Structure 1
Amino acid sequence: MPFLVLTRAGYDDIAGRVDLGKAVLYLNPGLLAEDEIAQLRERGTAVHVMATPVDPGNVREMQQALLLTRNERGSVWVERGAPRSSSSVDKVQRPQAPVVSTTPLRTRLARTAGAVATGMLRRLRSPEQGRALMAVPYLGFGNARRIWLKGRLLDEYGFREQTVADSGWANLVALYQRLESDEVADARVLATFQGRTVEARTDRGGYFSFDIALDVDLPGGMHAVELVFPDNAQPGGEPLRAAASIMVPAATARFGIISDIDDTVLWTNVTNKLNMALMLARTNHHTRKPFKGVAGFYRALRDGVGGTENNPMFYVSSSPWHLYGPLLDFLKLQDIPLGPLLLRELSVRQVLKINEHGNHKLEQIERILGFYPDLQFVLIGDSGEQDPEIYTEVLRRHPGAVRMIYIRNVNPDPSRIDALDRLIEEVSATGVQLVLSPDSVFAASHAAAEGLIAVDRLGAVRLDKREDDTAAPAKAGL
């Protein structure tokens, strides 16, 4: 049976109650001497010493420590200290008797956080009014006669802004809270645009979407759609409202860009699920870095050979919608051109799986192509997973829609290189190029030669790469 033990008194109490030879112990550092830990392990005890001390009177630290036990089966015994008091240190040091918990980790985390975060509790509405909710509209897109947008209705309290100073623990908790956010199902949503109102309902995951045909031509640029949730009143009694944005490509656009994110824009090591999880847990959008030169290359593609084309950007990724906010903030902070993000609907258990990875991306790319039948696209991805195969399939289905394919080479395995060579031959036979690129400067040089970007922008891409080298000399990436 697993135990979270934070004080010596708590350990002595447990040692007198149970057979530690059959126990799993999560211990504060320095709680036991090395010889005591060695003796426990000789008896068969599974001992895990936490990396940082946890104050039993600090509920936030307790909340973070509980994440360590998430993979344990059955009940977890938790030593709980009294809440921290400014007038007494004894209360922190005096443990209560261990209490067994049979509730899921998600519920325990929420209850623990709620006990200390009184400010959050004050934001929650009374039972008659329901929970304090937040609408999360995602950036949508459209053409002159049709728009598409998606969003989600969630419980508000589980979200907070992250900062550059956040620790690894804080990043891990924030990631977990996003992945385990409480959705609101079967809620009515009204979308009003150009004087017309359309109704939808949230699904079991809290998602809603609109695909609206228009009666009047819509010019290029950003447009606002008003969202109202009539059955979800705010504390003042007014219904919850939000504004969604719709991107319509400018008339000057000569082509569009569809880019992957993982291991194309942002280094995530997606081919190694454990390393990817550790990266997501340790960092946030303030501390993650793009591949070197990506920002300069994408700005050059957006501006085009003429410098003012305003070519539209789209991002298609297998990351879950839960990470939409951090990914959008990442693009903004790195000055990477913004565009609609089309992510996946995933549960927390599916986040690190790649089932139907290709199907998702292919479906979303076809959704984009369906809106812009007269626009060619530059497709950008990486060799880590299935981007080359997906983009080749897009070319097979829509031979006139693909202008160029750039693949960042992140997988040096010879068998993978052989497979890419075969795809390069197949794509070349259609008159389109699949370019295997070692870095953004190489891709930008090729794009300039092909008339996709202005030649005089190459210097900016090289400078962008050098600045990335200076800012993060030890950062993995190409």
Structure 2
Amino acid sequence: MPFLILTRAGFDDIVARIAPAGAVFHVNPGLVPAAEIARLRDAGADVNVLASTVDPRAAGEVELALRSAPLQGATVWVERAPEAERAGAALRRRLAKTAGQFASGALQRLRSPGVGRQMMVVPYFGFGNAEKLWVKGRVLDERSFREQTGDDSGWSNLLQLYRRLESDEVAGARVLAHFDGQRIETLTDRGGYFTFEIVPAAPLAGGWHTVQLELPDNVGEDGLPVRADAEVAVPAATARFGIISDIDDTVLWTNVTNKLNMAMMLARSNAHTRKPFKGVAALYRALHEGAGGNEGNPVFYVSSSPWHLFGPLVEFLRVQAIPLGPLLLRELGVRELFNLTEHGNSKLDKIELILSFYPQMQFVLIGDSGERDPEIYTEIVRRHPKSVRVIYIRNVNPDPSRIEALDRLTDEVSATGTQLILAPDSVFAASHAAAEGLIHVDRLASVRQDKKEDDGVR
């Protein structure tokens, strides 16, 4: 993707974020000294100086630059764009500039409930056991986002992503939860999030349960309080183990270690055009079904992605026929969205929350070696050695020092009686799972076939 850079501040920030090798920069005349351009070119960047200066505040000038021969027809990162691309430009500016370069009011779109405002409840998948349910959601000052299709353009994907990131959180809103004859009330926090822990009057059976959520102070078009249903999963009595999986670069490629590239991938595709890693869908179905074929082993997804992307991720799972389950994501405002620090602590806390609901259940942990999944899962084994049956790590980092670190973690985990398996692909993991009695051996063929289809081999 070429970058149209019109100010020095924008240039400094994007160059600090993008590796020069293979990058294409189009810059204003006089913006960058010749010596600096030479250094970038030596590092593999293609730096082009525009024929004339483009005023980033002049929509017409930016439009002419975008229609110039080098840029026409390409998807371009631009600091400032014409009216028709204002939403996309706003997103790209957020990706390319630090939060300090914007007025705080533009990023902290924090709202408090008010008369005449239309609010919406966004419920997330909850989970629980026979004695307690955990429910989470968010209150926003926006109408629901439309569903995307496989025919949506890159521009439509970008616009939908922008709308999700721009949704205005509502702080201090009253939220009611209705379940099993109970009525429980809470308030949203500064990020617009709310959480309920509900103790039912009688033990619950396994399956999906519905908790009705209500905003008593906000009336919808039908004249009734705004409502939404939260779906909450309770593991079936037949479940033998649970599955906790990362999403980023484990189920689907997101390049989460590079936040700008991750956002551009999300903008260029959607749940209908994004594909899972090869064989993942069949492997997860096999684990969910278990060796018995109908065990209903629960699947939980823990990710560094923000809650803003809950809807697209759920839609992705549905479209790809990957077993649905609770998603535990990150609470982030727009300011922190592309500065995902301490993601390890976030994942660790979420896994601890899951384990606290199922102290008698063993879990299969699935992740990749790209970030810190092996370290996080090893820490879980240290704290709960009896709760982890096996760890599968998709090996994506060939760096020798990383391999050495993984070998040390493998030895540490093995000393507890648990296995940490470095799996090159889903077929390898499925073969091991079949040998361990986690999936039926007949499911190996479907995992192999799924991988072949993903490879384009019929």
The TM-score with structure 1 as length reference comes to: 0.77
Task: Give the gaps of 5 or more residues in structure 1.
Answer: 3-19, 38-47, 75-101, 109-126, 474-478
Q: 1:32 to 1:336 in 2, by over 3 A?
A: closer
Counterparts of 1:454 and 1:317 in 2: how far apart (Å)? 28
Counterparts of 1:334 and 1:371 in 2: how far apart (Å)? 28
> What residue is the counterpart of 1:258 in the other structure?
244
Q: Can you list the C-alpha shifts for 1:368-399, whole angstroms capped at 9, x where unaligned?
A: 00000110000000000000000000000011
Indicate whether 1:320 and 2:285 are aligned. Answer: no
> What residue is the counterpart of 2:404 in the other structure?
418
> What residue is the counterpart of 1:6 in the other structure?
none
Once the two structures are superposed, the pairs formed by residues 200-215 of structure 1 within 5 Å of their partners are 200-215=186-201
User: Runs of at least 4 residues of structure 1 off by over 3 A?
Assistant: 20-26, 29-34, 48-54, 58-74, 102-108
Q: 1:428 to 1:176 in 2, by over 3 A?
A: same
Residue 227 of structure 1: how far off its partner (Å)? 1.1
Residue 22 of structure 1: how far off its partner (Å)? 9.0
Indicate whether 1:332 and 2:318 are aligned. Answer: yes
Aligned counterpart for 1:400 among listed residues 370, 380, 386: 386
Q: Can you list the C-alpha shifts for 1:160-219, whole angstroms capped at 9, x where unaligned?
A: 322212222221221122112111111111111111111111111111110122331111
Residue 409 of structure 1: how far off its partner (Å)? 0.6
Are the equivalent residues in 2 in contact too, given 1:158–1:177 (CA < 8 A)? no
Indicate whether 1:159 and 2:145 are aligned. Answer: yes
Counterparts of 1:107 and 1:211 in 2: how far apart (Å)? 28
Q: 1:430 to 1:23 in 2, by over 3 A?
A: same
Q: Can you list the C-alpha shifts for 1:66-103, whole angstroms capped at 9, x where unaligned?
A: 555555799xxxxxxxxxxxxxxxxxxxxxxxxxxx99
> What residue is the counterpart of 1:28 in the other structure?
63
Indicate whether 1:290 and 2:325 are aligned. Answer: no
Counterparts of 1:377 and 1:130 in 2: how far apart (Å)? 47
Counterparts of 1:297 and 1:73 in 2: how far apart (Å)? 40
Residue 294 of structure 1: how far off its partner (Å)? 0.3
Task: Give the gaps of 5 or more residues in structure 2.
Answer: 1-5, 8-51
Instruction: Give the counterpart letter for 1:27 in structure 2.
Output: V
Counterparts of 2:271 and 2:54 in 1: how far apart (Å)? 42
Q: 1:342 to 1:63 in 2, by over 3 A?
A: closer
Are the equivalent residues in 1 in contact too, given 2:278–2:426 (CA < 8 A)? yes
Counterparts of 1:389 and 1:62 in 2: how far apart (Å)? 42
Indicate whether 1:387 and 2:373 are aligned. Answer: yes
Are the equivalent residues in 1 in contact too, given 2:172–2:190 (CA < 8 A)? yes
Aligned counterpart for 1:228 among listed residues 214, 228, 237: 214
Higher-Rg structure is 1
Tell me which moved more, 435-444 or 278-287. Answer: 278-287
> What residue is the counterpart of 2:342 in the other structure?
356
Counterparts of 1:309 and 1:463 in 2: how far apart (Å)? 23
> What residue is the counterpart of 1:302 in the other structure?
288
- Aligned-residue CA RMSD (Å): 3.2
Instruction: Give the counterpart letter for 1:444 in structure 2.
Output: A
Counterparts of 1:458 and 1:271 in 2: how far apart (Å)? 31
Indicate whether 1:134 and 2:120 are aligned. Answer: yes
Are the equivalent residues in 2 in contact too, given 1:380–1:407 (CA < 8 A)? yes
Secondary structure of 2:442 counterpart: helix
The aligned length equals 400
Are the equivalent residues in 2 in contact too, given 1:28–1:52 (CA < 8 A)? no
Q: 1:33 to 1:168 in 2, by over 3 A?
A: closer
Once the two structures are superposed, the pairs formed by residues 181-192 of structure 1 within 5 Å of their partners are 181-192=167-178
> What residue is the counterpart of 1:7 in the other structure?
none
Residue 233 of structure 1: how far off its partner (Å)? 0.9
Counterparts of 1:254 and 1:72 in 2: how far apart (Å)? 48
Aligned counterpart for 2:328 among listed residues 342, 352, 362: 342
Secondary structure of 1:300 counterpart: helix
Residue 262 of structure 1: how far off its partner (Å)? 0.2
Indicate whether 1:150 and 2:174 are aligned. Answer: no
Percent of residue pairs identical? 64
> What residue is the counterpart of 1:15 in the other structure?
none
